[in-house]
Structure 1
């Protein structure tokens, strides 16, 4: 069965929108001032999102509202629940009120905005390793169970190359795109770039894994190839983050933070170029520096 999904590119959620942030009255206290000022401050919104796959709840993600379909698709494919984006027949954000651009569906707006339902062709369903239970995935830590998945992951081809000078500029390029973070704080970012430095998409969320899944899902649902792209993230590069990149064929991942030992070992074993501490005009290349032309 072939997917009939048609989704046109859409922008990331606006920082001015009322879904991603709210105002809250606070008392502001300064070290060198006796008075306390009362002001309204922005707070990033955190809400659960239930993902239902072929009528079965598979996860509840704690996330920032926005890009729900991208998040659900990115999660299901990068976590190994769904084989390919083309296997997704229907993806429906309950309670969205309006159909997505180019998508033929109706919604009376009465459902919960905190649920995404996917219908997937039988041949596209996979069974990830680990317990078959509904997982509550906290916004900062990813899945609680870390299993030995390396034997199920592909080995990335070595043909893709990119200039080190270009990578060095992508950390700032991603930060410049973080409109919500500049206004509210408290969010992580993930961005995908071409080898030329052209920006493909960027996403923000309270969870680093969610931000990555939103960016990946944006590309997957729009049939944008990932095998010749660079993924830049703001959070630490964990084993699970490296797994997502490898499973989807992304050859280079760079973070402005640090990688973990398991991420480095997995990247080395599966041919992923893993870069950390991408900031201040420097970077640490932990694995497969051969992809960086001139490195």
Structure 2
């Protein structure tokens, strides 16, 4: 559709798919995620790891996907029932006189890691990784309706994932890591969207010390990144970027 006297043109357009996936944990429904129907094993395992339900790959007995029905069946060694109430309650605590941990859920307290890596990255490498993510974002280019994330070395993308949900892209990355156990001390998460506190916590749970995005962070994400030892680089566009936290990891 065009303004004014320009003609209307009828044509087909590719639309992002919205797909409900119900995770069945040891025979009991645990959660339903709305997602893009790709890399579903990674998503199911990464989500459970992010929630603190599983901590190590050895805890997983089997994962199977019924794409037609929209179910992911996960069987783990621990058969004790999981309390959904536990995963929805806020944890009220303090840290060095601060109250930031009052924003964490119980499972966030268990699973968010403080990052101590001294690995560094150059400004040019950050620009390069954002460029690589954009080049690989074919589904975004055709639909404009998805987010992208990638686990990267300082020079290249190791694995990238796409989803309609920002958080799902990171759960897919986490699930991939659970299956492959790549060393993380020198790795970077490159991200297409806004860095919220929830996004930052997922990066901390994966165990990566830097997130680079073309978009902005929130104030709570910056507070948490400062506390958890994570470098946030935002607004990586053109020839500029903003380094918000732990700038000692950035070098020219």
TM-score when normalising by structure 2: 0.85
| Separation in structure 1 between the aligned mates of residue 185 and residue 53 of structure 2, nearest angstrom | 20
Q: Which has the higher helix share?
A: 2
1:3-55 CA deviation, whole Å, 9 max, x = no partner?
xxxxxxxxxxxxxxxxxxxxxxxxxx111435322211111111101112222
- Which position in structure 2 is the counterpart of 1:73? 45
Q: Distance in 2 between matches of 1:123 and 1:250?
A: 30
Matches within 5 A, 1:113-192: 114-122=70-78, 129-131=86-88, 147-148=104-105, 151-152=109-110, 153-192=112-151
Whether the aligned pair in 2 keeps the contact of 1:237 and 1:263 (CA below 8 Å) is yes
* Gap runs ≥5 in structure 1: 1-28, 96-110, 133-145
CA distance in 2, matches of 1:55, 1:272: 37
Query: Residues 1-295 of structure 1 correspond to what in structure 2 (within 5 A)?
Result: 29-95=1-67, 112=69, 114-122=70-78, 129-131=86-88, 147-148=104-105, 151-152=109-110, 153-195=112-154, 197-294=155-252
What secondary structure sits across from 2:46 in the alignment? helix
Corresponding residue number in structure 2 for 1:21: none
| Alignment partners' CA distance in 2, 1:147 and 1:225 | 26
1:273 Cα offset (Å): 0.8
CA RMSD for the aligned pairs? Answer: 2.3
Is the Cα contact below 8 Å between 1:49 and 1:63 reproduced in 2?
A: yes
Aligned length: 236
Structure 2 alignment gaps of length 5 or more = 90-102
**How much does 1:281 deviate?**
2.1
**Could you tell which deviates more after superposition, 278-287 or 121-130?**
121-130
Cα drift, residue 126 of structure 1: 7.8
Provide the C-alpha distance between the structure 2 equivalents of 1:116 and 1:79, rounded to a whole number of angstroms.
16
Distance change >3 Å, CA 78–CA 130, structure 1 → 2? closer
Normalised by the size of structure 1, how large is the TM-score?
A: 0.74
**Alpha-carbon distance in 2 for matches of 1:53, 1:123:** 9
SS in 1 for 2:149: strand
Distance, in Å, in 2 between the alignment partners of 1:215 and 1:229 is 12
1:139-164 Cα deviation digits (max 9, x unpaired):
xxxxxxx6355644332113222222
What does the per-residue CA deviation read over 1:243-279, in whole Å, with 9 as the maximum and x for residues that have no partner? 1111221011111111111111111001011111122
